[in-house]
């Protein structure tokens, strides 16, 4: 919904509130079968876990999910694998998920392996309106099969396409009502690039503050990229816990 207010003779368009009541409300009217969805996070760090739960509960399927990894068997994107809602994963690391392995080895899940740095740049490029770029990473391997290559200064480079998702889901430590986001430490991993590449971007935040409360120099993702924002309470599970014995 668009509102308008008047300042003298000038009409200034103003978008309705981006703030949503809960994750289910944030996804309402947005998700559909067959979407390409980019999801932030690294392992279980910085994943939009409550939005993933809400996405599972919508029942949408045949999804292509772009994410560094697929979570673990009982959390994160692993939950969508359990319910067979994911048709294809575009990932760089999948080693913590036994169900992922089972589906892939049984030809029940399509996988597009992408080197980690290349995946990050593909997401950033898609968000920046760059259709493709050349990189040396993957040249001479299966990563380059079927892709265009070119020579630059005596070296071979492979063409990688930018990624533009129908929907992007990200997690931030803090956000304001305009959608400006601040990530915390390691959670500032793939989230900034994912936030850029979505036709629609929904942010899940630990703390939602009024506009003006965030230091502009500390903002990692400008609100221009974020369409909806919801405050949640996350479990923040530890993927692998190592303790020292006395």
Residue 16 belongs to a domain: no
CA–CA gap between residue 73 and residue 220 (Å, rounded): 30
pLDDT per residue over 142-156, tens digit each? Answer: 999 999 999 999 999
The answer to whether residue 8 scores a pLDDT higher than 50 is: no
Q: Using DSSP, state whether 81 is helix, strand or coil.
A: helix
Is residue 91 a part of any domain in this protein? Answer: yes
Cα dihedral 30, 66, 110, 52, rounded to 10, equals -50
Is 68 within the bounds of a domain? Answer: yes
Flag whether 150 is in a domain.
Answer: no
Mean pLDDT of 190-202: 96
| Torsional class of 206: left (φ above 0), alpha (ψ -120 to 50), beta (otherwise) | alpha
- Looking at residue 4, its pLDDT comes to 37
Place of tokens 């008047």: 6
Tell me how far apart the alpha carbons of residues 197 and 233 are, in angstroms, rounded to a whole number.
25
> pLDDT tens, 135-144?
999 999 999 9
- Please indicate, yes or no, if residue 82 is contained in any of the structural domains: yes
pTM of the model: 0.88
Cβ–Cβ < 8 Å for 180, 221: yes
User: CATH no. for residue 199?
Assistant: 3.40.1080.10
Q: Give the number of domains in the chain.
A: 1
Query: What is the residue range of 182's domain?
Result: 32-131+162-231
| Residue 236 included in any domain | no
Is 176 a member of any domain? yes
pLDDT over 90 at 5, yes or no = no
pLDDT at 246 over 80: no
Cβ 110 vs Cβ 89: under 8 Å: yes
- Is 144 among the domain residues? no
């Amino acid at each position: 919904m668009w509102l308008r207010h008047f300042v003298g003779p000038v009409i200034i368009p103003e978008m309705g509130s981006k703030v949503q009541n809960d994750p289910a409300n944030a996804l309402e009217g947005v998700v559909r079968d067959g979407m390409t969805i980019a999801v932030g996070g690294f392992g279980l760090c910085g994943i939009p876990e409550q939005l993933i739960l809400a996405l599972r509960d919508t029942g949408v399927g045949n999804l292509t999910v772009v994410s560094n990894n697929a979570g673990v068997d009982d959390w994160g994107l692993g939950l969508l694998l359990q319910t067979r809602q994911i048709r294809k994963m575009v990932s760089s690391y999948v080693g913590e998920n036994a169900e992922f392995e089972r589906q892939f080895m049984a030809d029940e899940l399509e996988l597009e392996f992408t080197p980690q740095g290349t995946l990050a740049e593909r997401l950033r490029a898609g968000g920046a309106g760059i259709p493709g770029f050349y990189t040396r990473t993957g040249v001479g391997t299966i990563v380059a099969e079927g892709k265009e290559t070119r020579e630059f200064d005596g070296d071979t480079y492979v063409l990688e396409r930018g990624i533009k998702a129908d929907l992007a889901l990200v997690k931030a430590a803090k956000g304001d009502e305009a959608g400006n986001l601040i990530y915390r430490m390691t959670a500032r991993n793939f989230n900034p690039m994912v936030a850029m590449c979505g036709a629609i971007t929904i942010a899940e935040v630990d703390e939602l503050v009024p506009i003006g409360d965030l230091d502009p120099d500390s903002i990692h993702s400008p609100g221009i990229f974020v369409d909806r924002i919801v405050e949640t309470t996350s479990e923040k599970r530890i993927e692998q816990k190592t303790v020292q014995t006395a």
